[in-house]
Structure 1
Amino acid sequence: MTPTPDPKVVAKALAELAEAVKHVISQGRELFLSDSSEAELLYLASCQVIIRLQAMLEDLPAETVARCTDLPLAEVRGMRNRMAHGYLDIDKSMLWETMSGEVIPLIENILGKIED
């Protein structure tokens, strides 16, 4: 059995992930939704954010996860599964809305629960 990482290590990784999200968002919706090669990179980065976020959630101690019952953790897992398995029907505008409006608040909420 793999030992559970220190919550502070997970918190640091989550903070770094939040910076990646901020970078994607800073590029703007128009570029994100375009058909350019830059848009493809932003899309792939966004998929990786969701995949990594789920992995980090799995690394949290059970007592921290127990404090997260008000968070959409099952939805993160479901979205991660769709992205990790390479499904081609990911709606880019939905992904943009998730990245631009939901991921940072979710990470901040998780970080607050780690600190509790």
Structure 2
Amino acid sequence: MNSKDMAVLKKILHHIESIIRYCSDCRSLESFSSDTMRLEATVFNLMQIGELAKVSLSDEAKAQIRTIPWQQIYGMRNRIVHGYSGVNMQIVWDTVSEDIPSLRKELELFMESNT
């Protein structure tokens, strides 16, 4: 993998770590959505992850990491940015609480094995 793609993966990982840090004390959708600042910071980082995944990461890099659902990541970004039918906070919460930790693990494993 080229150095540009590795740098993009590091940026994505940085945004993931920010989300995890912001939401570390959240145990439910209610606690997550009750803090507007946390919610907005988290959504911003989800948008950044989606943008990096779509625009900055090469197709070759995405093909190397087949375990990551790149299309869904960008789809989440589109829903947030364009507000298609509103943003479903349950989906955002499920992404934060379930998918983000898995994404972090997948990226860390890939990056460790490719450095």
Specify the alignment match of 2:42 in structure 1: 46
Q: Distance in 1 between matches of 2:88 and 2:75?
A: 14
Q: What TM-score, normalized to structure 1?
A: 0.75
Superposed CA deviations along residues 48-91 of structure 1, whole A, max 9, x for unmatched, are 12211112213223321112333221111111101011346222
> Relative contact order, CA 8 A, sep 6+: which one is greater?
1
Q: What TM-score, normalized to structure 2?
A: 0.75
Across the aligned residues of Structure 1 and Structure 2, the Cα RMSD in angstroms comes to 2.3
Q: Distance in 2 between matches of 1:11 and 1:94?
A: 24
Specify the alignment match of 1:78 in structure 2: 75
Q: Quickly say closer, same or farther: Cα 1:104–1:72, change in 2 above 3 A.
A: same
Which consecutive aligned stretches of 4+ in structure 1 deviate over 2 angstroms post-superposition?
A: 68-71, 86-89, 110-116
Specify the alignment match of 1:18 in structure 2: 16
Say which of 88, 92, 115 aligns to 1:91: 88
2:57 paired with 1:60: yes
Query: Where does structure 1 lack aligned partners over 5 or more consecutive residues?
Result: none
* Amino-acid identity (%): 22
